[in-house]
Amino acid sequence: MKLPHAFLAGLAFGAGLAVSGMTSPARVLGFLDLGAIRTGHWDPSLAFVMIAALAVAAPLFALSRRRGRALDGGILPTLPTHGIDPRLIGGSAIFGLGWGLAGICPGPALVDLGVAPWPAVAFAVPLGIGLLLGRRD
């Protein structure tokens, strides 16, 4: 992939995150706080981020499956599938614990580095260390 294309893809992806509200920890925690349903303060809007993203992405993935090759002529890589193993479930649980603590997942963490370098770096540096620590090899 050409580097300007990759940069533009990151730029558009990041813009999508910022527009959607996902870059705000307060918004994300407000969405995850299901206890607020009782008090009428629950903010369900972020559910629509995933709904819209899947509605657009799923047909494109389906189209790609029918073609069997990438449009740039490259072969579609076989994605690593270790099945449903303890690493998948345990890792996802650890991720959820961390996500619930501060309301930040990896994509928004990187966009927030541009919004507010400090304190975003206080999350991003341990994130990078964790990514390397959690590798399979």
71-130 residues near other proteins, rule: CB under 8 A: 71-72, 74-77, 79-84, 87-107, 109-116, 119-120, 122-130
Q: Between 9 and 28, how does the x/- string for binding to other proteins read (CB under 8 A)?
A: xxxxxxxxxxxxxxxxxxx-
Q: Between 28 and 67, how does the x/- string for binding to other proteins read (CB under 8 A)?
A: -x--xxxx-------x-xxxxxxxxxxxxxxxxx-xxx-x
Distance of closest approach, residue 96 Cβ to other proteins, in angstroms: 3
Distance of closest approach, residue 79 Cβ to other proteins, in angstroms: 7
Give burial (CB, 10 Å; 0-12/13-18/19+) of 29. Answer: middle
Distance of closest approach, residue 51 Cβ to other proteins, in angstroms: 7
Spatial neighbors of 89 by CB under 8 A, at least 6 apart, are none
Helix (H) or strand (E) holding 97: helix 86-102
How far is 9 from 6, CA to CA, in rounded Å?
5
Distance of closest approach, residue 137 Cβ to other proteins, in angstroms: 11
CA 26 to chain centre: 17
